[in-house]
Structure 1
Amino acid sequence: MSGHRHGRHGCDGDHNHDETPEMGLQYSLYSKIDLGNLECLNEKCEGSGKDVFKAWEDRFDFEKYVESDADEELLFNIPFTGNVKLKGVVVVGREMDSHPSKMKLYKNRPHMTFDDVGAPGDQEFDLHPDNTGTLEYSTKVVKFSSVHHLTLYFPTNFGSETTKVYYIGLRGEFYEAHRHGVTICTYEARPNISDHKTNAFDSVSHEVQ
């Protein structure tokens, strides 16, 4: 999938976007990530994978980044605190050689490892070097309309022995998980049954009298 264009619109759903005040709101899904259970495989410094999921206005904070360890591969297992409709992904690097060159997305496959990434991704992209955060890779929204777990796999870069990522932006919509349904059923079961029984006995006794 070579021959990508750097113009207004490119291949595979990637396009440049203009900077607007609303960008911070659009890329706010980082706040809906369950960071305590986020996994980054092959990170050189433990826990550094979490640092790349941050506010849009902090995307140029190059003090914090994740670097791969044994080779150029990086794999992120990203659980959300609810359901997400994922619309786009931004990947910011700094040095061209260490910038990831490919990205594979997997939907709702928790705890993936490097043994699992041979399977085709739900969507795959050829990446361009981007140190400004202006290039977005648009997802197939129908396919990524109900995501509670997202895996991002970066298999290669542009020539370096290790891969560095400084920012990953996720654009989309968030929906609270519907966990209250069971609670409602539990509450309704006991008092309603007892209420009905009491009313039935009362009505019978009144009729007998």
Structure 2
Amino acid sequence: MSPHGRCCEGDHQHRDTPEMGVEYSLYTKINKENLECLNEAVEGSGKTVFKPWEERLNFEVFVESDADEELLFNIPFTGNVKLKGIIVIGEDSDTHPSRIRLFKNRPSMTFDDVTAAADQEFQLHVDNLGTLEYATKIVTFNNVHHLTLHFPSNFGAESTRIYYIGLRGEYSEAHHHGVTICTYEAKPNISDHKNLLKDNVSHQIQ
């Protein structure tokens, strides 16, 4: 066991440190109004799995797939994210997802689009406590403003159930550089204008 409470094991690590609540706070940077989950059995339930670390074991709140075992999350952020790790909590049963595929900055993906090569994917292990973290390629998942998560399969059940998805990384505000356009009269007539300064019109474009 390492000093940080991590035990490397293939493409995932065992994690259980006091700082987890802070590290897994990227859920607060998700634009929840525009987050969507395709093939959810209950509308809006996909948004509920992005929650505080302290609530990860609340098994009363979850998302379950509808027509088949696939789930697809389109996750817009309010700024830019450097994604470093993911935790997925499901049941200790065949409903637990068995794979996850990650796509960077491809908004509004549908199941028709997931045939494209993923930016990274993992074979998942059954985890009902949130002790396994899947480390992403930081070079690839730098400057992420939209993240798509595709769960194509589970361990054999007709539907997939997820209780918690944790995202670890760094957040930075998106920078919008405004352009100011100033319009001036070419030949103002002094007799028509008491205050020439009022004729200078500035439009702030975000």
Shared topology, TM-score over 0.5? yes
Counterparts of 1:85-104 in structure 2 under 5 Å? 85-104=82-101
Per the alignment, residue 172 of structure 1 pairs with: 169
Aligned positions of 1:153-164 closer than 5 A: 153-164=150-161
How many pairs were matched up? 178
TM-score by length of 2: 0.84
Aligned equivalent of 1:14, options 6, 12, 15: 12
Q: CA deviation at 1:31?
A: 0.3
* Residue 20 of structure 1, CA deviation: 2.1
Residue 120 of structure 1, CA deviation: 1.1
Amino acid at match of 1:41: L
Q: Indicate the percent of aligned positions where both proteins have the same amino acid.
A: 64
> Residue by residue, what CA displacement relative to the aligned partner does 1:70-116 show, whole Å, maximum 9, x if unpaired?
00000000000000000000000023200000000000000000001
CA distance in 2, matches of 1:170, 1:41: 19
More strand by percentage: 2
**1:108-161 deviation per Cα after TM superposition (whole angstroms, max 9, x unaligned):** 000000001011100010000000101000000000011000000000000100
Please identify which structure carries the higher helix content.
1
* 1:73 corresponding residue in structure 2: 70
Partner Cα separation in structure 1 for residue 182 and residue 33 of structure 2: 36
Q: Which residue of 1 aligns with 2:35?
A: 38
Structure 1, gaps ≥5 residues long? 1-6, 192-209
Separation (CA, whole Å) in 2 of partners of 1:102 and 1:190: 54
Q: 2:136 aligns with which of 139, 152, 156?
A: 139
- Deviating 4+ runs (over 2 angstroms): none
Distance 1:110 1:177 in 2: 16
> 1:82, 1:38 → 2: CA distance?
14
Q: In angstroms, what is the RMSD of aligned CA positions?
A: 1.4
Aligned with 1:110: secondary structure?
coil
TM-score by length of 1: 0.83
Alpha carbons 2:92, 2:127 under 8 Å: kept: no
What's the counterpart of residue 21 of structure 2?
24
Partner of 2:102: 105
What is the CA–CA distance in structure 2 between the aligned matches of 1:22 and 1:31, rounded to whole Å?
16
- Counterpart of 2:160 in structure 1: which amino acid? T
Q: Which runs of 5+ in 2 are unaligned?
A: 1-5, 184-206
1:151 is the counterpart of 2:148: yes
Displacement of 1:190: 4.4
Aligned to 2:55: 58
Distance 2:65 2:160 in 1: 5
